[in-house]
Structure 1
């Protein structure tokens, strides 16, 4: 069985093709791409998939569901659903922060990992994972001081890992962004059937109520 993995929920845009079933040694990376774009995921993702062997065609598609960029999450899910329909492939989702934690565990060993990632508007997405890679808490978007208090693990991964470790004064930082090529390190028990976006916070833009003007929050720091 082949699995196409898509992740464009952060500044990174990545796609990878795996062969095999299960996880770890049972999944073999055939080929993959990972680029830090910031923006432009919609323009780059499909060509990136097309560069993979057989155009990335697979029996199963796994896509990141967030939390992360509103635009990036929607781009990834739309592409995954369209390809799953065209190829009659199975479709599953996976949590973005769990993949970051798995990447850190692949380097640091089987230890608890906290993840601190940019959430935009001055907040950080944070979540803790146990030594087996399973979540110990829910993903939350918090101001930096609250984020620092929320993570107690010695090892911290993510785009805000270095800032968090420096602020609290202890631990080791792994400044990582999610990379689809590292999908084999993710516990397969975290795969989600019928994936839906998990934005992690309220939308940046809202439809105004009748009689109000509404307000749009600047989204310039969001990926996608």
Structure 2
């Protein structure tokens, strides 16, 4: 079975194509903006234009716009190809990449990525198994500085968190679609719907 992996939840536009567990094509670019146009070009450049029996897409948390772009593309392709469609978490994907880069296995991995309104999305995982040590949350940076105790922080929000805390090491990472097959199975079965990580910005009038 071929699997197309689409990740546009952060500043990166990351796409990978697998044949069973074997990676056959990958492109990972930190583009900042313009994900939709970049994503179309990448998928068109893949073998067989990326056609696959299964599509996996990053459902967040992350950029609201980025999450929506990835999901829209994944849903359209899944409909056209009659493919399976599944979601996965941006934070879990970064945790996988972090674990691959460790010199020694750490007891826990804290991942923090850029949110909105001065907040970071974050979650802690067991270093060996990547079992969540708590739910994902969106927390103001100054408050999170007192909560995140791991010496190393991974993700796009790592530098801001380390600066606020005044100690530790920041390891900037974006979700990389090429690491998808290393995700534990439960992380690959999220519903293909947005995982925004916090409530809507707009508040109803009273």
Q: Note whether the superposition's TM-score is higher than 0.5.
A: yes
Cα offset, 1:60, TM superposition: 0.7
Matched, 1:37 2:31: yes
CA contact 1:91–1:193 (8 Å) conserved in 2: no
Matched, 1:129 2:125: yes
Q: Give the Cα separation in 2 of the matches to 1:171 and 1:59.
A: 43
Question: What is the 5 A alignment of 1:104-119?
Answer: 104-108=98-102, 110-111=105-106, 112-119=108-115
Gaps of 5+ in 2: none
Matched, 1:96 2:93: no
Higher relative contact order (CA 8 A, sep 6+): 1
CA contact 1:81–1:91 (8 Å) conserved in 2: yes
Q: Give the Cα separation in 1 of the matches to 2:190 and 2:148.
A: 28
Cα offset, 1:192, TM superposition: 2.4
Q: Decide whether aligned partners of structure 1 residues 193 and 125 sit closer, same or farther in structure 2, where only a CA change above 3 A counts.
A: closer
CA contact 2:15–2:177 (8 Å) conserved in 1: yes
Tell me the TM-score normalised to structure 2 length: 0.90
Gaps of 5+ in 1: 21-26, 213-224
Matched, 1:138 2:128: no
Cα offset, 1:169, TM superposition: 4.5
Partner of 1:178: 175
Q: Give the Cα separation in 2 of the matches to 1:173 and 1:166.
A: 9
Q: Any runs of at least 4 consecutive aligned residues in structure 1 with deviations exceeding 4 A, and if so which?
A: none
Superposed CA RMSD: 1.8
Partner of 1:69: 63
